[in-house]
Structure 1
């Protein structure tokens, strides 16, 4: 684990909430000079604490009304590498997250699509035909209450 001081944590806290903060506003928020903030941000990026910056889009504004979680179990005896099996799924734009998990299933995919019909087509065309699939279970989110929340970084603040 990388050693972070209270100023690093303040910077991470502020940038998670608004990555577009100017150095001037960030420096006021964390009580450091803009040049100190800039150096710290560069170090946090270089050390891999800050992985990158992204743009969050509103799925419904783009006509993507259905969020589903697809639980996939694979028959490990019938395939060389379970991760290779889901690699084709992970490459698809509909899949916005994929996690290897413990429990009754091996992977959980978070999928965002236009409609239930599109979800059905995705399952039929992309998931079901995969070789080595043992079980597929799907749950559709009725409502999204929180997404892309900031990570807890206030410790030592």
Structure 2
């Protein structure tokens, strides 16, 4: 499948949706001077083409717990080549928002987000208790001075 070039209107729609994924199609249409249906068709095409990979919720400052607790968990598996059981178990933990397979000392890097430190500990215990996990190292995020979320970053499975 050939990758379709994004035009200026597509880029504007992506910028608007990145700023507020809940913006109505009518409002988007008014901002880019297209009908609601034309905007819907463009958004659906970008979803089909993988340009829009999904929508997410970011808790606001007034939500329960406020800012989420974030941590990076480095995981070393007992069997680096046949560690699918670990990956399957990690996929089932909703607080794991990202899992990267690494080169080097550790096999996996997990990005974990929870509402409380207690839940973070429970998630860590769940991961560390997996029979195929040899070791973990966990680092809590204290601050995020740079956060460059790439819209077109490839998702790998």
TM-score (norm 2): 0.73
Change (3 A) 1:89 1:70: same
1:11 and 2:13 matched: yes
State yes or no: 1:2 paired with 2:3.
Answer: yes
Unaligned ranges ≥5, structure 2: none
CA distance in 2, matches of 1:60, 1:89: 29
Name 2:38's counterpart in structure 1: 36
User: 1:86 is matched with which residue?
Assistant: 87
Structure scoring higher RCO (CA < 8 A, sep ≥ 6) equals 1
Residues 72, 107 of structure 1: 8 Å contact kept: yes
Q: 1:2 to 1:105 in 2, by over 3 A?
A: same
Q: In the aligned structure 2, how far is the partner of 1:137 from the partner of 1:22?
A: 43
Alignment map for 1:68-147 (pairs within 5 Å): 68-76=71-79, 81-113=82-114, 114-115=116-117, 117-124=118-125, 126-145=126-145
Distance in 2 (alpha carbons) for counterparts of 1:134 and 1:143: 29
Tell me the number of residue pairs that the alignment of Structure 1 and Structure 2 aligns.
149
Mark the CA change 1:20 to 1:148 in structure 2 (over 3 Å): closer, same or farther: farther
Q: Give distance in 2, aligned partners of 1:23 and 1:121.
A: 40
Residue aligned with 1:76, SS: coil
Distance 1:6 1:128 in 2: 47
Q: Deviations over 1:29-86 (max 9, x none)?
A: 2343333222211222232322333332249843375321100121326xx7323313
The gaps in structure 1 that reach 5 residues or longer are none
Aligned with residue 29 of structure 2, among 22, 27, 30: 27
| Maintained 8 Å contact 1:17/1:150 | no
CA gap of 1:17–1:107, structure 2 versus 1, over 3 A, is: same
CA distance in 1, matches of 2:79, 2:95: 25
Q: Return the alpha-carbon distance in structure 2 between the equivalents of residues 18 and 32 of structure 1.
A: 18
CA RMSD of aligned residues (A): 3.1
